[in-house]
Amino acid sequence: MEFTLSMWSVHRTTREHQWTVLDFLSYCHDQGIKQVELLDVFWKDVDEELPYVKSYLDQHDMKAISYAVSNDFVNQDPALRQAALDKITCAFPIAIALEAKVIRVFSGNLNSDITYEEAQQWIVEGLSSAANEAERLGLTLCLENHGLLAGTGTQIQSIIDQVASPALRSTFDTGNFLLVDENPLEALHKLLPYIHHVHLKDFAVTEGGRYRSLSGLAYEGRVLGEGIAQIEPILRALHDYGYSNGIVLEYEGLEDERTGIQQCLAAFSNMMQRMEVKR
């Protein structure tokens, strides 16, 4: 399982210093990080930047293993639901150009004007259409556990089962389960057969934390292993199951992001070494 860095891990740094995707790749290269996850929200001009990004990856023996889009299917307006679908399908040629086989997607979130049943129907319809095209192109959509409609392991499992396509699997985000008051390790055992992509992030209960769970607990991002997301047991369970796809850091702590990433990389390396010793 090779360490991969999501560009979201430097979202504050990117805004503060006006980084481009190439700046992020240069930072990764300097840190010895060979695999990355890129996101649609960070392009300034994708048509102009994409050839240079692909060239940089090739020249520096780096890989973009996943590409993320910010779609939302939960809207009463059919035109806006179509726009959410278009956001995913428009990512296909970008992912293909990057040679990224995984596209991370979302469901959308609930609001007071829409019933849970309506929202679920729109999510399943939208992801079914996207998955049909993704399968034809040899791509895999990975639904992140996030929010009220696809936040728990049971919800993710239900959506994937209803779509019933090999091109829709799970992005297992370790931290997000805490925000719906679900134990990440318990969710892992529900979803192991569905997982095709993993986001590592750790949270700790913190007074004044920026992230609040359904039960009202306040959380803040932490370096891997310093929170309560049970990162090492999750990695061990994934390894024992035979998981060999992406392990992507999505750091969300308050420290300087580059310092936090270095600490997470060291923690990940130590965890992997301990796992090797115990085998």
> For 8-61, what is each residue's pLDDT tens digit?
999 999 999 999 999 999 999 999 999 999 999 999 999 999 999 999 999 999
Q: Are 159 and 188 in contact (CB under 8 A)?
A: no
Q: Would you call 58 exposed, middle or buried from its count of C-beta atoms within 10 A (0-12, 13-18, 19+)?
A: exposed
pLDDT at 113: 85
pLDDT at 277: 62
Helix axis angle, 231-241 to 257-278, nearest 10°: 50
Rounded distance between C-alpha atoms, residue 35 and residue 39, angstroms: 14
pLDDT at 110: 86
| H-state helical runs in the chain | 11-17, 21-31, 46-59, 78-89, 91-98, 116-137, 153-163, 184-191, 231-241, 257-278
pLDDT at 278: 63
- Regarding pTM above 0.85, the answer is yes
CA distances from 258 to 63, 198, 253, 262 (A): 20, 21, 10, 6
pLDDT at 275: 85
pLDDT at 279: 55
pLDDT in tens, the chain (279 residues): 789 999 999 999 999 999 999 999 999 999 999 999 999 999 999 999 999 999 999 999 999 999 999 999 999 999 999 999 999 999 999 999 999 999 999 999 887 789 999 999 999 999 999 999 999 999 999 999 999 999 999 999 999 999 999 999 999 999 999 999 999 999 999 999 999 999 999 999 999 999 999 999 999 999 999 999 999 999 999 999 999 998 999 999 999 999 999 999 999 999 999 988 665
Give, as one character, the DSSP assignment of residue 155: H
Rounded distance between C-alpha atoms, residue 22 and residue 52, angstroms: 8
Specify the pairing of strand 218-222 against strand 202-205: antiparallel
Q: Are 33 and 61 in contact (CB under 8 A)?
A: no
CB-side exposure of 9: number of CA atoms within 13 Å? 31
> For 202-221, what is each residue's pLDDT tens digit?
999 999 999 999 999 999 99
Rounded distance between C-alpha atoms, residue 201 and residue 133, angstroms: 30
